[in-house]
């Protein structure tokens, strides 16, 4: 199964799971250290999460700049949209550099953001937490559908195959799916209110690897 990916990708996965297991260990043995140091805001794990998202954005931009319109306008648009999604995720993760630059939030975010920060995922509108509804429930459904159902449809139906390839959607390999299921299972048994930070960390690196070397990788090779 590991033969599906390169040695470098294997190294990324092994490192990610080691850091994940360290976090889980602290969840059982030193919850204060886990919350106050390991997964804190602007901490080690958060910046590694941002790195995965930023690399994903750069990778898609690089492919868009080299492949350009050789595979059609929809393919180029798909690459740019995916790059934007990665960049948005990275920006949200660090509140768009607000804490780094020491910028004060506008009154809107002071009133409607649960942490008073300049980001969308912590908004609370009419008593509804955006993070729980959109970045939790809906995103979870999208991730599950993408990992569990889309690869099956891609392999079974030619029209799905054609549509996905036309839109530059990277399809996960079996190893990616297995790793995410393992990640989700481990996190499910982790006794921490901040276990979602560990899930984000592992999930972002797995999705970066999916983008880097998907099942339909030949589409993203620049062939003149």
Looking at residues 18-36, what average pLDDT do you find? 97
> Which bin fits 171, alpha (ψ -120 to 50), beta or left (φ > 0)?
beta
**Residue 104 has what pLDDT?**
79
Lowest mean pLDDT among 10-19, 64-73, 112-121: 112-121
Give the span between the Cα atoms of 215 and 71, in whole angstroms. 17
Q: Which residue has the tokens 């804490």?
A: 99
Containing domain of residue 208, as a range?
2-220
Give the span between the Cα atoms of 211 and 181, in whole angstroms. 18
pLDDT-derived band at 137 (thresholds 50, 70, 90) equals: confident
Which of 110, 139, 106, 107 lies closest to 122 in space, CA to CA? Answer: 110
Structure tokens at 53: 């998202």
CB 192 within 8 A of CB 36: no
- Give the Å distances, CA to CA, from 188 to 12, 74, 115, 185, 191: 22, 38, 25, 5, 8
pLDDT-derived band at 93 (thresholds 50, 70, 90) equals: confident
Give the span between the Cα atoms of 28 and 189, in whole angstroms. 10
Alpha helices by DSSP H, listed for the chain, are 7-29, 31-33, 44-67, 73-93, 98-101, 107-112, 130-132, 139-144, 150-156, 158-166, 174-188, 195-212
**Residue 3 has what pLDDT?**
57
Give the span between the Cα atoms of 100 and 75, in whole angstroms. 35
**Residue 160 has what pLDDT?**
96
Number of domains in the chain: 1
40 burial (CB, 10 Å; 0-12 / 13-18 / 19+) is: middle
The mean pLDDT value of the chain amounts to: 89
Judged by DSSP in three states, 30 sits in coil
Looking at residues 190-215, what average pLDDT do you find? 96
pLDDT-derived band at 118 (thresholds 50, 70, 90) equals: confident
Lowest mean pLDDT among 20-34, 81-95, 126-140: 126-140
pLDDT tens, 46-61?
Answer: 999 999 999 999 999 9
pLDDT-derived band at 100 (thresholds 50, 70, 90) equals: confident
């Amino acid at each position: 199964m590991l033969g599906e990916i390169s040695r470098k990708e294997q190294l990324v996965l092994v490192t990610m799971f080691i850091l994940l297991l360290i976090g889980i260990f602290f969840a059982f043995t030193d919850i204060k250290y886990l919350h106050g140091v390991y997964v804190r805001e602007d901490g080690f794990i958060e910046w590694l999460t941002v790195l995965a998202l930023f690399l994903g954005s750069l990778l898609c931009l690089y492919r868009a700049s080299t492949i350009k319109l050789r595979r059609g306008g929809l393919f180029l648009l798909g690459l740019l949209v995916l790059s934007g999604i990665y960049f948005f995720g990275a920006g949200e993760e660090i509140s768009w550099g607000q804490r780094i630059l020491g910028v004060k939030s506008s009154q809107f975010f002071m009133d409607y953001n649960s942490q008073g920060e300049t980001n969308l995922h912590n908004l609370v509108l009419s008593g509804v937490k955006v993070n729980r509804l959109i970045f939790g429930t809906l995103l979870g459904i999208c991730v599950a559908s993408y990992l569990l159902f889309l690869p099956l449809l891609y392999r079974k139906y030619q029209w799905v195959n054609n549509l996905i390839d036309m839109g530059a959607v990277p399809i996960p390999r079996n190893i990616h799916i297995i790793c995410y299921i393992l990640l989700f299972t481990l996190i499910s048994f982790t006794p921490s209110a901040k276990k979602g930070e560990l899930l984000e960390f592992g999930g972002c690196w797995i999705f970066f690897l999916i983008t880097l070397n998907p099942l339909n990788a030949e589409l993203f090779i620049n062939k003149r």
